Structure 1
Amino acid sequence: MVAVEREEEAVIRSIAEEGIPVERRPDASPEAVLQVRVAASAVEALVLARSAALAEAFLLHIRARVDDGRLFNGRARNIESALRNTILPRIGRRIASELKHAEIMACYEEPARTGLLLPRTARDRIVVLKQLQDFARKHGHMKTKPVDEVLDELKGIKDRKVRAFTVEQVKTLLKATEQRPKNWEQRTSDLRRIIVHLAAVCGLRYGEIAGLAVENIDLDKGVLRIRHSFSKHDGIKGPKTAAGVRDFPLPAQIGAMITAYLRDHHRPNPQGRLVATRGGSPLSASHFHETMWQPLLREVGMEHPEDRFHFHALRHFAASMLAASGVPLTDIPEMMGHSHLDTTLKTYCHACSRTTPGPSASRLLWRGSRRPCCRLRALAATPKQRRVLSA
């Protein structure tokens, strides 16, 4: 069977290389024309079947990695979406054979050029294709690595810059959270206020806020212990990276907000989270953005559909404010849950005012608390850490 398949592929290849359709060859008999057409159909069906089988085998491999804990479910869903929506519709017939450079590059260029995907997102689709290529090579379906060459050409594509808040804009946002919107329950208003402050002052990711357990909020010592994160697809899990497991100084004014919320509104929920719906379910990021964050931007006149403010920009703002507060740059990555200083410097420490955020802004956000650099010394677990922080 294999020999027949190879012979059929050789027939089709030789005709294609000559560039002469078999019907136009002077020496082609009707029987030869029919034979080649049948062979071409068989080869096409074989390639399609192999490609489909390879794609499904790859997805089963991805699901197995989720089952044994090597991969988060959210990441697996992104891989499957990229495969089914971008890769298979464009080059699905050839994934079980040798891919061509132009085909791979078109898989990036078409969605990026038409605006269907941002350039960085389109490149991430090619990264998924590389994973599929490596899987195919491991199982003997491919010999070369054409996707690697394309990824080399796409190096340097950056994420779209997150629109940075100015100090005055953040002051306006925080001030607005003090007022209960019309027709809102006081509980919902107070919860939004806490969430926005935890992002703008403490720099927590939304997933970390949604995954914050009440038992990990030490109101007496003024410490947030970040141990979990929440996502729609994975539920409660560990933080984004190992560096995400950290302690953070809790400013006095946020501690007072949380104390009042726990006293007046909080209801026990199965996972003991601070942030939950009235029924005790986790508050998903999409629900928060639609019902709390976007209305807040509208309330203060900061809603810009073409260049919108992302909630995550408050985390960027917090990193810059830590630097302005006198926290050594080498300590900020630990506070933000970053593995590398470069991430903090290149991505997070923006100039977040008209010039540079000054001490007055720092005092406003940390009023009633010791400055974070002082709180870090108190949190230092070892004598060595204390000496470094006191230097």
Structure 2
Amino acid sequence: MSQETRTMATPLVRGMGSFFKNCRCTRQNRCAHPYVVRYRDGTGRQREETGFTTQQDALDRLTKVYNEKRRTPERQAASQREIGRHRFGPYAASWLARQRHYTSGSVRTVNQVLKSQVLPVLESRRVNTFTSTVIDDFIMSMEERSVGLGAQQNAYDTLKKILLDAYRRGGIAEDPFVGVVSPEYIPRKITIPTLDEIRALKEEGSEELRLVIDLMHGCGLRNGEAYAANLERLVADDVYRITEQIDGRTRRTARLKHRKPGEFRESPLPATVRDSVLTFAENKGVEENGYLIRTQRSLHWGHSTMQYQWWSARKKAGITRKLNPYSLRHFFASNCLSKGVPITDVAEWMGHSNINMTFRIYRHLMPASVGRAARLLNEGL
């Protein structure tokens, strides 16, 4: 904006800011152009806002900002300014260290997303300089690098968690995600094993693999949760309580994904799965603490053990489709939804932190809701 098109800013009380118009009109108090306000926010960064119809509107906005700053204790304001001056890289590291509810697997995943997608672009940027334009540019940079939509969504979600944390703590004055359109990840078509394929895998697999398969396709457990199979978790004839998982790399017990230490969830326990657990316990024995599955070296199962046994059983069974252990969870979801179980319940049993994830992945498995609704409504009419 050239100097000729900007009117003299009207100064107010020290620290309050000023207002002006960006126009050449001779009688600006009567022209239709909006007023612009300029002020420094709580982090000390100079800001401008436009769109104020009258002087009073501009004054009201400046007064509100000024009063908010006056109500903020100096120590708190200094802390907010300090947060805002951090570079994104160190702030992201400190944020991740504060996520005590994250499992070790989740920490590894977030670190991988940061290192591969976010930090190469944003590591040196100061936290208080993030705006919606910066976020949009970051998304565009991923598109230019032909980053897959799934990776884009993960990077965006991780960045959003970190920056909204900084925003809540006062390091960023305005929500930088207002107006930003996030990458839309549409999951690939999932592969659901047939019941015959599951039976063939169980027929060719070890007793341990058969138990893992039953817990995953019958109760919806994740791999690591099935590795932690425990006789004490049969809290009722038809309920299995999931309290922990086995970290696939360290082979040690860990808290559940999306749960705080000590939290648990419960899943329906079909009679066939209950019989499978009890039969395994009778044949193989139970450890003093109730655990069932161990390797020959008396270790918990890990991902390498599962992968070897899974591919071996798949080869022996002659299964050529690209099934992986996670396909068993898809079978559980499909089985529930095809029987009319509400998707909200399915999300809870599977341990999803956000039902939107369940909808994104499994919405197409639900019975045709419009046609079904029409038939039900017709019956009522």
TM range (shorter): 0.5 to 0.7
Structure 1 match to 2:284:
265
The 3-state SS of whatever aligns with 2:246 is strand
- Give me the whole-angstrom Cα distance separating, in 2, the residues matched to 1:336 and 1:58: 29
Cα deviation for residue 145 of structure 1 reads: 4.5
Structure 1 match to 2:269:
249
Cα 1:280/1:107, change in 2 over 3 Å: farther
- Give me the whole-angstrom Cα distance separating, in 2, the residues matched to 1:141 and 1:341: 30
Aligned to 1:176, which of 165, 181, 201?
201
Structure 2 match to 1:195:
212
Pair 1:281 & 2:336 matched: no
Cα deviation for residue 122 of structure 1 reads: 1.7
* Structure with the higher fraction of residues in strand conformation: 2
Structure 2 match to 1:60:
94
Cα 1:121/1:164, change in 2 over 3 Å: same
Aligned residue pairs total 281
Cα deviation for residue 192 of structure 1 reads: 0.8
Give the % identical residues.
Answer: 18
The 3-state SS of whatever aligns with 1:225 is strand
Pair 1:154 & 2:179 matched: no
- Give me the whole-angstrom Cα distance separating, in 1, the residues matched to 2:117 and 2:102: 21
Cα 1:350/1:265, change in 2 over 3 Å: farther
List runs of 5+ in structure 2 lacking aligned partners: 1-83, 369-381
Pair 1:295 & 2:319 matched: no
Cα 1:139/1:281, change in 2 over 3 Å: same
- Give me the whole-angstrom Cα distance separating, in 1, the residues matched to 2:287 and 2:126: 51
TM-score norm. by structure 2 comes to 0.58
TM-score norm. by structure 1 comes to 0.57
Structure 1 match to 2:106:
75
| 1:94-132 Cα distance to aligned partner (Å, 9 max, x none) | 2356247665445434445655x5313323212333344
List runs of 5+ in structure 1 lacking aligned partners: 1-49, 181-188, 356-391
The one-letter amino acid paired with 2:281 is L
Do 1:162 and 1:310's aligned partners in 2 also have CA atoms closer than 8 Å? no
- Give me the whole-angstrom Cα distance separating, in 2, the residues matched to 1:125 and 1:215: 39
Do 2:246 and 2:301's aligned partners in 1 also have CA atoms closer than 8 Å? no
Aligned to 2:329, which of 315, 338, 357?
315
The 3-state SS of whatever aligns with 2:241 is strand
| 1:256-288 Cα distance to aligned partner (Å, 9 max, x none) | 43334323334627x54223323332222x324
- Give me the whole-angstrom Cα distance separating, in 2, the residues matched to 1:302 and 1:316: 17
- Alignment map for 1:95-106 (pairs within 5 Å): 95-96=126-127, 98-99=129-130, 104-106=135-137
Do 1:173 and 1:300's aligned partners in 2 also have CA atoms closer than 8 Å? no
The 3-state SS of whatever aligns with 1:224 is strand
The one-letter amino acid paired with 1:79 is V
Cα deviation for residue 177 of structure 1 reads: 1.9
Q: Aligned Cα RMSD in Å? A: 4.1
Pair 1:210 & 2:224 matched: no
Cα deviation for residue 350 of structure 1 reads: 5.2
